[in-house]
Amino acid sequence: MEITIDDFQKVEMKVGIVTEAERIEGTRLLKLKVSLGEEIRQIISGIAEYYTPEQMVNKRVIVLVNLKPRVIRGYESQGMILAAGCKEDEQKGIKPVLLVPDGEVPQGTRIC
């Protein structure tokens, strides 16, 4: 499916820094607190099989910030961190890899 540049401009992504991370017991989920500079978002991510909470703290990540909040396993997720690799790729033996900025980009910097 093709989209227009106008469609793409509706997507808002920013650089965030994970300030807290914990595994949600009995799941493949991590509960992350991500600083976007002016605000901190809680993001629930299905990456616990690939990343430990300790690996995530202080990591710069790319966050989709204007995604409608959603409750996952009783926790509100206020965005999505981006990774290369999805469920179809996992079935082929390819693990998800987080998309990260190349360098010390300040938190809250908009991706364009």
Domain spans in the chain, listed from the N-terminal domain onward: 5-110
pLDDT of res. 109: 97
Rounded Cα distance between 63 and 16, Å, is 6
Task: Indicate if the alpha-carbon torsion angle 73, 79, 84, 88 is positive or negative.
Answer: positive
The beta-strand segments (E) located in the chain are: 13-23, 30-35, 40-45, 60-64, 70-72, 75-77, 80-81, 83-84, 97-98, 110-111
pLDDT at 31 over 80: yes
Q: Which fold has domain 5-110?
A: OB fold (Dihydrolipoamide Acetyltransferase, E2P) (2.40.50)
pLDDT of res. 85: 83
Instruction: Classify residue 43 by burial, with Cβ atoms within 10 Å: 0-12, 13-18, 19+.
Output: buried
pLDDT at 89 over 80: no
**Average pLDDT of 10-15?**
97
**Average pLDDT of 37-54?**
96
**Average pLDDT of 37-44?**
97
